[in-house]
Amino acid sequence: MAYLAELGALIDELVDAITVIPATDRQKLDACRETALRTLRYNTGNFLRTNQFEIEDQLKGFEERFRVVGRDPLADELCKSLNSLEVHRNKWTPDVFRFVLELSDQPAIKSNLGDLDLLAAGLDNDAHPNLTWQEIAKEDGWNEDRALWRNVDFSPSSGDEDEEDAQSATSGESLTTASSAEDEHQRTAHDLTVGPADGDLLLKQARDGQAWRHTALARDGEGRAKKTPISSIQLLREALFMLGGLETTVFDSKCNPVNSYQLAGVSWDTYKSLVTSFAECGRKLAPLRSFVAREEKIPLLQVFQDSLQKALRSLDQDLAVIQGRFVAIEQDAVVSLMGILVELGPSLSRLYSLSGIVRLLQEERNPHAFRYLELLFDAVGIAQLEGNIATYNLLGNIFFDCFQIYLKPIRLWMEDGRLVPGDRTFFVSESSTKLALPQIWKSQFNLLRSTEGQLHAPRFLRPAIHRIFTTGKSIVVLKHLKHHESVRNRRDQDEPRIDFATVCPKDLEFAPFSELFTAAFGAWIQSKHHTASATLRELLFNSYGLSQGLDALQYIYLMSDGSKSNALSMAIFRHLDSFSASWKDRFTLTEIAQEAFSLCVDGYRLSAEVDPRGLAHSGTASRSSVRLSLPAIRLSYRLNWPVQIIVPVEAVQGYQTIFTFLLQTRRAISFLAHPILGFSHAEKAGAAAHLATYYLLRTKLLWFCNTIMTYLTSLVLAPNTTRLREGLREAPDVDDMISTHSSFINRIISESCQSPKLQPIRECILDIFDLAIKVEDAHRFEMERLAEEDEEISRLSVMSSPFKESQGRAKSALYAPKPKGKEGDDDDEDEDGADWGNMTPKQGGAKDAGGHKSHAAVLKDMHTDFERYLRFVAGGLRGVARASREEAAGKWDLLAEMLEVGIREQASMYIA
């Protein structure tokens, strides 16, 4: 409040001093006062002091940025300058820093440490000014001695009277040490030439020595052109110039010999053979020189050009040494063209291999930029096998020099997870669309392939491509998890060197080059791959709950906990048996699932839904078949997104397939496990003999369902789950973990007979499950019919007085078909048209007078169907197991052996 009061008083004084408004005009005074006050309030923020802490953070950020981009010397100089400035700091230092930061423009790129040297030189010049000749003359006292600068004439006729003062032009000027070195007259090259006394003679000799180049061809008596004779030294000079890539007269631009010349004193055939040998050497070197002369924009090709230039420069130096021997001849020397050719043989042979590589590159259509690396790699191995050590060393050094450039994008990818924009030589590409986090590993980055399906990478790197690709993706995922820096901290050792001297030492010269390179490059990759993969694996297991997620999936989909799975399945079965439509409600299903698995999984991650295709069936149809309703029930468990990399959506579909089959098996067992009803009614009705068939069929069905359940839980799910846990712990990287989990899903689907190859067998197993439901429904309906007939007989016996008459009526009623309800009342009919409830038992016949099958006949038919189904399943599994080479074939054969126990070899026996 005191500040506002003081500000108000100052505003009043300001308005009174500037405006000439009477004190009576309060309205104008108040308007001016409010305007001034508002202006000060709005503009005060622009004149506040600089935030010194923000400036310090920006300077530290610059230092860190310099180190990130590899400008460590610049960062060190910045830190050193800041420390030196601490002793001179005052209150305006942050403002000065802010001004400098506002003026900065990309300092990490445009800064040059050499500018500091210039600044230091400027300070030195200011501290120590240049010493001039005037100062020296004044100090020594000879500035007054004017006779010192006279030109003295030492001729005999000279006299004192002829002497003239000839002062130097520099005596009256203030010259520095640097400027005194310059004369008034600037000398040129002509001033420095020394004309020999016999200059004209030397010029004439030079022209005569080159006259053979311009001599007209002479003609013989028959009018044919004669060859121009040349000496050995002239031919040698032309040959050496041609090998050096210069224009010559004896050889044309394509290094072919010109037929107008011939070596003096040598036959034409000898000369032609000799000059052709030199021409052949020049033609082999021509591709190298033409390739070097081209302009390349790809760094990988530029470094190859530089290596070729170095190799050619070595040859040029050898040529210069030979030329030097014949330019300044101090003693007699024999010019031997064959000797020169033999002397240049080792140097030329090393270049011939490079020339062959360049020639192959020029002959191929649109070769990749890294194609020459493949050719170099093969050439190094061939040179080693041939025992040509010099060529082996040359090609090996060139290969590793060029490979260092190709290694840069690999290093950037494996260390930072980044790609060089516009790089067409690297084998990894990034998707242009932004994907969800679980899809980063699978779809964000891809390996480039040719139209033939080959990897866009050198052949010698293809065995290591997987680890390179996996390491880069691991770094990308770690960046999203904010753990990228931990990988750098764990990288405590420097990467192994990749050069010819390290990879191919002299003591291993007999080891194959390909194996030496593979071992060295594998160690280089391992130094980066192991750290990134180990860090990501540790995070998946310890921080993001991979083990807990797999446990939850096994609880929910694989029903590893029988009590919790039984609570879920029985709740669903109760809704189906009561013809309630609530099982189709996803909220009800979700509540049932969360309640069943509340003690072992996170309930908020679990949800359930029903496939819309399963809603089209009626309640009766859904209850009477395991095919219609149960496959429509879908459970969903939401995993952490890093865990979804290991367990993708496709794998969850496999879990859902196993869950559906287990639920169908439990559905059949739940029907067969109901208490047996109707003993007293069957005995009173005289149908106890038919119960034997029912008991036999029911026992076999229960045995079959329990066999399937035992096989699934004990021989398929339990061992494969244990194998999965061991595989995930031993997997070196995330790709191997994904592959291990994918193999686990494929194995349990195949071994549980859910693969497309075993679809007929799977459908037959479901037929047996449906048969179990039909058997129990038929038995229940029969027991209900017998109970109704028992009640009807009791009622008739009470109403009828003659005993025989009532007995006859009861007997006739016993064999009559069950009357149907009112028209449209078909709730008891099966979906397939079979009305097991309307089947009445007829002793002594298969059908009654109305054409309906008796209960005994229905049971016999069901028993026959079961035997047929069982034989088909067992025989099909046995046949597929013998014909297949899959890993699951052994499990199929074992299941077939378990089912063959229940197959009777002799004809089935029925109890009528």
249-298 tens-digit pLDDT: 888 888 888 888 888 888 888 888 988 998 999 999 989 999 988 888 88
d(CA 468, CA 529): 7
Tokens 């000879």 belong to 142
What average pLDDT does range 233-237 have in this prediction? 86
Q: Give the model's pLDDT for residue 154.
A: 53
Residue 156 scores a pLDDT above 70: no
Q: Give the model's pLDDT for residue 788.
A: 76
Reported as a pLDDT band with limits 50, 70 and 90, residue 738 is very high
Q: Burial-class residue 674 by CB neighbours within 10 Å (0-12, 13-18, 19+).
A: exposed
Q: How many CB atoms lie within 10 A of CB 805?
A: 11
| 765-776 residues labelled b (16+ CB within 10 A) or e (exposed) | bbbbbbbbbbbb
d(CA 225, CA 633): 102
Distances (CA, A) of 397 to 286, 407, 499, 501, 803: 22, 15, 7, 8, 119
What average pLDDT does range 186-209 have in this prediction? 66
Q: How many CA atoms lie within 13 A of 88 on its CB side?
A: 6
Let me know: does 743 contact 724? Beta carbons within 8 Å: no
Reference 862, options 834, 842, 885, 889; nearest CA is 834
Round to the nearest angstrom and report the end-to-end CA distance of the chain.
Answer: 111
Q: Copy the structure tokens of residue 786.
A: 């017998």
Quote the mean pLDDT of the chain.
79
Lowest mean pLDDT, pick from 545-559, 615-629, 711-725: 615-629
Q: Give the model's pLDDT for residue 379.
A: 92
Q: Copy the structure tokens of residue 909.
A: 């026996």
Let me know: does 646 contact 734? Beta carbons within 8 Å: yes
Reported as a pLDDT band with limits 50, 70 and 90, residue 646 is very high
Q: What is the DSSP letter of 443?
A: I
d(CA 229, CA 338): 19
Let me know: does 496 contact 524? Beta carbons within 8 Å: yes
Handedness of CA 181, 183, 186, 191 (dihedral sign): negative
Tens of pLDDT, residues 659-682:
999 999 999 998 888 755 555 544
Lowest mean pLDDT, pick from 101-105, 168-172, 455-459, 767-771: 168-172
In three-state secondary structure terms, 71 is coil
d(CA 135, CA 129): 12
Reported as a pLDDT band with limits 50, 70 and 90, residue 14 is confident
Q: Which residues pair with 229 in a beta bridge?
A: 262
Distances (CA, A) of 229 to 250, 264, 339: 11, 5, 21
3-state SS of 749-816?
HHHCCCCHHHHHHHHHHHHHHHHHHHHHHHHHHHHHHHHHHHHHHHHHHHHCCCHHHHHHHHHHHHCC
Tens of pLDDT, residues 91-148:
888 888 888 888 888 787 778 777 777 666 555 554 555 667 777 777 766 666 666 6
What percentage of the chain reaches a pLDDT higher than 70?
A: 79
Q: How many CB atoms lie within 10 A of CB 618?
A: 12
Q: Give the model's pLDDT for residue 44.
A: 57
Q: Please give the backbone phi and psi of residue 776, each rounded to the nearest 5 degrees, phi first.
A: -70, -40
Q: What angle do CA 208, 210, 211 make, to 5 degrees?
A: 65
Rounded to the nearest 5 percent, the helix, strand and coil shares of the chain are 65, 5, 30
Q: Copy the structure tokens of residue 713.
A: 């839980």
Residue 586 scores a pLDDT above 50: yes
Let me know: does 857 contact 846? Beta carbons within 8 Å: yes
What average pLDDT does range 568-591 have in this prediction? 85
Q: Copy the structure tokens of residue 550.
A: 């797999």
